Amino acid sequence: MKRRNLIIGGAVALGAAGTWALTRDKTPVMRPAGVPLSPYPPDATAEEVTAGLDLTGKRALVTGATSGLGLETMRVLALRGAHVYGTGRTLEKAERACGSVPGTTTALQLELTDFDSVVACADALSAGGEPLDILVCNAGVMALPELEQVYGLEKQFVTNHLGHFLLTWKLMNNVMAAPQGRIVNVASSALKWADPAGIEWDNLSGERNYDPRRAYGQSMLANCLTTIELARRFAGTPTTANSMNPGPVLTRLQRHAPQWLVTLGDVLGPMLMKSPAEGASTICYLAADPTLMAVSSYYFIDCSPVELGGNSEDPAMAAMLWDVSAELVQGYI
């Protein structure tokens, strides 16, 4: 039996110790009909799920490629032959990350809270008009302890959702120009932390009763809803969009948690949580596996689709989020 199964009790204990901890997903597993199930175990690595694949000639963009899931995703896609564009908040960090992996990579600067930076990144990638086969929206921040705002909006909503929305909008034609373009939006089981009614349309500033978890959950819900609307817009084309939950992975995303929990995670995390190699497996599976060519609009955990129901699959809310988001970035699209 693998390491995490032997100590599942410890993982539950860590989750109970602080509500900031993202432990093993407890969502009831309901499989969508007609979608292929993965042959891989929950602890498969990104290298294992892409073994034997040849991505030579494909172009991929991975946001947040300087550490954690993004760095591992870039490494494995490049290992399989793709030309991977990896972004960082500074060009220096992106260049350092790209230089640390074998294969063909190009560093790009991307600050998701600066819409001019988002547009510049998209323009740099699309300047030649070449197709973009894979877009992985991975970068993010989690549970900022105090309310921070950008453009008058709560920062997690801007970073995790709106910046990626603008990037996707600017690159959508390039993705659709690929023979089988794919968009992978990284989400989380934390979407259940969002307000029970869904997106708080009248509180996108976060000023009313700011709660770090609820704000983060809303941004994760937004990523799932964006995927639903993208898939609707791609209907009838070879282009697909799916979202995923990497599971409990020990990365820098938890850096804003209370210090005692960060310390506890540093000690127990390597035993109780997934490694970046395991957490990136579902991202790489969605980005590259040939059996998923016609699979779109789904939410994946451990390389298999899961039905969540509720707000996360509400097409009306997804359409409204798309319209509201487009209005919020109107001056940049």
Catalytic residues: 210
Q: How far apart are CA 210 and CA 254, in angstroms?
A: 19
Residue entry with tokens 């997804």: 318
Name the β-bridge partners of 88: 109
Q: Please name the residue that has the structure tokens 């899931």.
A: 69
Estimate the crossing angle of helix 259-272 against helix 8-17, to 10 degrees. 170
Question: Which residue matches tokens 């994946």?
Answer: 300
Q: Mapping DSSP to helix (H, G, I), strand (E, B) and coil, where does residue 54 land?
A: coil
Burial class (CB in 10 A: 0-12, 13-18, 19+), 128: exposed
In whole angstroms, what is the distance from residue 24 CA to residue 4 CA? 10
Q: Enumerate the H helices of the chain as residue ranges.
A: 3-6, 8-17, 46-49, 68-79, 91-99, 115-126, 155-156, 163-177, 212-234, 259-272, 276-279, 281-288, 315-328
Contact by Cβ (8 Å): 87, 76: no
Give the C-alpha separation, 285 to 40, whole Å: 10
